[in-house]
Amino acid sequence: MQNINTNTSTDKNQNSKESAEKLHRKIKETWTGLSDNDIKLYDQKRNEFFAKLEEKEKVSKQDAQQKLQQLEKECGCNKAKAA
């Protein structure tokens, strides 16, 4: 019998990428004034992301963090990164 393992690291990476893309779409829907490059900051330069959000959307970091937790939960992303 051949062992078929569908939980490869490639599958996990693809799922992670799909989750990130889904979250990025939700962020874009929520804060339409952010550019795609602004949204990409969320993954690597969180403080810069919050600065752009405050500048362009007039949203405080605290309010944004609460909304992002909600968006992550909705899309099943659960990144839970601390800023």
pLDDT tens digits along 49-82? 999 999 999 999 999 999 999 999 988 876 544 4
Rounded to whole angstroms, how far apart are CA atoms 74 and 79? 12
- Looking at the structure of the chain, the number of domains it has is 1
Rounded to whole angstroms, how far apart are CA atoms 76 and 67? 14
Q: Which two tokens stand for residue 14?
A: 């693809």
Is 53 contained in some domain? yes
Give the confidence band of 8 by pLDDT, cuts at 50, 70, 90. Answer: low
Is 21 contained in some domain? yes
pLDDT > 90 fraction of the chain, expressed in percent and rounded:
63
Is 82 contained in some domain? no
Is 6 contained in some domain? no
Torsion, Cα 64 68 70 75, to 10 degrees, reads: 160
Enter the pTM of the model.
Answer: 0.74
Give me the domain span that covers residue 23. Answer: 12-75
Is 1 contained in some domain? no
Is 31 contained in some domain? yes
Give the confidence band of 6 by pLDDT, cuts at 50, 70, 90. Answer: low
How big is the CA angle at 73 (ends 62 and 58), to the nearest 5 degrees? 30
Residues 22/15, Cβ–Cβ less than 8 Å:
no
Give the confidence band of 19 by pLDDT, cuts at 50, 70, 90. Answer: confident
